[in-house]
Amino acid sequence: MGESSFYDSMMRKGAAGGTRGAGAGAWDAGIGTGPAKAPSRKRGPGPKGPSDKVLGNRRARVVFNRAALEAAELGIADGLYELGLDLIADASLGPKGGPQFGPGSLRDPETAEERGVAMMLDTGWVKVWVNGVNVSIDAPTEAKPRDLALPYGQVVMVAAFASRLAHLQELGTVKMNAHPFLTPAFNRALPNTAEYVVPAMGKRIAAAPEESSTMTGLKAALAAELARQR
């Protein structure tokens, strides 16, 4: 007879229990729920099974607080965007001792207008993606770099220079030594990431609705982190 007879017998057991009604299935019956075969419960944790408390938790409804996660992600994005802007501003000062960079150099609006092309150091841009979606406040027109992956669950910030000469200045050519300006700015900015991200997260989460204990916990954790930074 095989499976069908086993299933039928289990269904009969479930009907005898009578707690789940017509929808009761084999597993409900098999684990013995219902007044007819109530499981024996112990008062405390023991070697043979979990306590009442654990069984109670098992039945608790878990609410996924998406608002809290979105607020945290957008806060990270805000902080990284500000970090990127400062990084670009720092890099735009050019390399130390560079031949054609910095105040008083060729970088001026008049020369740019004559050439009809923006000066290289004026072409910096910043863009931030959350879960693959561009959330930059004033989204620049520059497209996503070809090789850049934007995986779900990650916040990605790109700070770059749109000029086609930028990588030649940064790395050099056969007739010109490297004049790195972006790598040093990046290395200077990187250690300060938390100073940008944590306050921005705090603002977003403070503005989010108090829906659950998760949000309260996040706010408390951020307040503690801010206090520690001060």
Partner 1 sequence: MTTLSPVAAAVAELRAAAGVSTITTRIRAVEPAPGDALGAGSWVPFVVLSQLDAPYQAPTATSSVTIGMRCYAASYPDAEELYLACAAVFHRAGPRIAASRLGIYNSLALGGGTLDKDPDTAQPYAYGVINLNVSIQTIPT
Judged by the rule CB under 8 A, the positions of this chain that interact with partner 1 are: 167-168, 170-175, 177-178, 180, 183-184, 187-188
The pair of structure tokens assigned to 17 is 């229990």
For partner 1, which is the closer residue by CB, 63 or 148?
148
For partner 1, which is the closer residue by CB, 163 or 212?
163
For partner 1, which is the closer residue by CB, 71 or 123?
123
* Residue 220 to residue 202: CA distance in whole angstroms: 10
Q: Between the CA of residue 19 and those of 56, 150, 227, what are the distances in Å?
A: 18, 49, 54
* Least separation in angstroms between CB 45 and partner 1: 45
The pair of structure tokens assigned to 142 is 């520059």
Q: List the beta bridge partners of residue 128.
A: 157
* Residue 18 to residue 10: CA distance in whole angstroms: 13
Residue tagged 């659950």 (tokens): 212
* Least separation in angstroms between CB 186 and partner 1: 8
Radius of gyration of the chain (CA): 30
For partner 1, which is the closer residue by CB, 39 or 184?
184
* Least separation in angstroms between CB 143 and partner 1: 16
Question: What sections of 92-192 are H helices per DSSP?
Answer: 109-115, 166-171, 182-189
For partner 1, which is the closer residue by CB, 170 or 225?
170
For partner 1, which is the closer residue by CB, 166 or 200?
166
* Least separation in angstroms between CB 177 and partner 1: 6
**Nearby residues of 215 by Cβ (< 8 Å), 6 or more positions away:** 65, 67, 68, 71, 205, 208, 209
Give the DSSP H or E segment for 127.
strand 124-130
* Least separation in angstroms between CB 175 and partner 1: 5
* Least separation in angstroms between CB 125 and partner 1: 19
